[in-house]
Structure 1
Amino acid sequence: MAKRTGAKYDAIIEAAVKVIAEYGYHNTQVSKIAREAKVADGTIYLYFENKDDVLISLFSDKMGRFISQVEEALQQVESPIDKLYHLIRLHFENLERDHMLAIVTQIELRQSNPEVRKGIGKILKRYLNVIDQILIDGVKQNLFRSDMDIRITRRMIFGTLDETVTSWITKNHKYKLLEQVDDIHNLFIHGFGKP
């Protein structure tokens, strides 16, 4: 298998985002991805085992880059309250910028098989760990409630961000995701901040 870098690999990943967003995962054939990427069908199999591998790789590549961006940005921020704000903003900014990627991550990944969900779970765990660390730091700094269950709160945060983006997609992007940041941040802070 070819190394997963380079212009052809990137072209295949970008083509997969576009084709899966347009046709849906189950209606996407590898040949459609190859045509969109302007490569031969066989070239796909130099980089990927099958269509599931393309979807897992797409998510790992895009989400991995995003998580690295978040980790780097949060290193510049002191307060866990501000870190949470930046996390929400970056999450929405990333998906608002790329509507097709938002469709793939919010709609199509949920319709995939258990093997795909297992593959994406590994990279998603890294993102959830970022949220956990913000919460742990907030508790340590006495900014968040000490009796807060980190796992439940993390699920609440991720679930809220996830549902906000999904709703935005189903409403055909009629409003800006970034306009939601302040309200959602306030909801979280007043929900689990110190009384």
Structure 2
Amino acid sequence: MTKGKKRGPKYDKIIDAAVKVIAEHGYHQAQVSKIAKAAGVADGTIYLYFKNKEDLLISLFQKKMGSFIEKTEMEILLQKSPDEMLLSLIQMHFKQLSEDYDLAIVTQLELRQTNKQLRAKIGDVLKRYLALVDSILQKGKESSVFDESLDIRLARQMIFGTLDETVTNWVMNDHKFDLVALAKPIHRLLINGLSNK
């Protein structure tokens, strides 16, 4: 997505500044000049790293979501059963977004307001995360922990939709409740629907 320029401290500063500015002002009001000022760089510097504001938004999502997925994958590798893997995925989803409220605003609210073409590119980034959910469900089916007749696509939509809506609700309520504390009850609810009983 970026022009192939080197990534480094300035690139990271611009990405972090973009998250803050978009969270505070909204994507459409987040001018490149505001992002540059927040990053402590000249306006023109942004264009050394990104083609335009849309490219910056996609790059931001790729970088932040890439890190989000890597951390989640590492936690899941520590778990033995599909049941524990699913709990770990839910906990990491909530933990990472609760630790970065600005990023939560951007992912839950601002990314939804972008144009269709941009949403498609964001959807491409999400595929890796959804594949992670699929792998947990597949392991659960193969080990008979989850119902063998489970429709993985439908179950993935149910899981992702539940997590996504819970985080959106938390954002819309100005993070007034403990998001991470909901991981276990949501896990229990999902497991009851997935388990082989």
TM-score normalised over the length of structure 1:
0.98
Name stretches of at least 5 consecutive residues in structure 2 with no aligned partner. Answer: none
Q: CA deviation at 1:86?
A: 0.2
Distance across 2 between alignment mates of 1:108 and 1:174: 20
Which residue of structure 1 lines up, in the alignment, with residue 163 of structure 2?
Answer: 161
Distance across 1 between alignment mates of 2:141 and 2:78: 19
Which residue of structure 1 lines up, in the alignment, with residue 151 of structure 2?
Answer: 149
Distance across 1 between alignment mates of 2:111 and 2:6: 21
Quick check: 1:89 aligned with 2:62?
Answer: no
Distance across 1 between alignment mates of 2:86 and 2:69: 14
CA RMSD of aligned residues (A): 0.9
Q: CA deviation at 1:2?
A: 5.4
Distance across 2 between alignment mates of 1:165 and 1:69: 18
Which residue of structure 1 lines up, in the alignment, with residue 190 of structure 2?
Answer: 188
Stretches of 4+ moved more than 6 A in 1? Answer: none
Matched letter for residue 159 of structure 2? I
Q: Taking every aligned residue pair, what percent have the same amino acid on both sides?
A: 54
Q: Point out the more displaced range, 106-115 or 67-76.
A: 67-76
TM-score normalised over the length of structure 2:
0.97
> 1:103-182 counterparts in 2 under 5 A?
103-182=105-184
Q: In 2, are the aligned partners of 1:88 and 1:185 still within 8 Å (CA)?
A: yes
Name stretches of at least 5 consecutive residues in structure 1 with no aligned partner. Answer: none
Quick check: 1:70 aligned with 2:72?
Answer: yes
Matched letter for residue 40 of structure 2? K
Distance across 2 between alignment mates of 1:4 and 1:118: 26
Q: CA deviation at 1:62?
A: 0.4
Matched letter for residue 33 of structure 1? I
Q: In 2, are the aligned partners of 1:2 and 1:46 still within 8 Å (CA)?
A: no
Quick check: 1:101 aligned with 2:103?
Answer: yes
Q: Deviations over 1:152-183 (max 9, x none)?
A: 10000000000000000111111110110111
Q: CA deviation at 1:4?
A: 4.7
State the secondary structure of the residue aligned to 2:109: helix
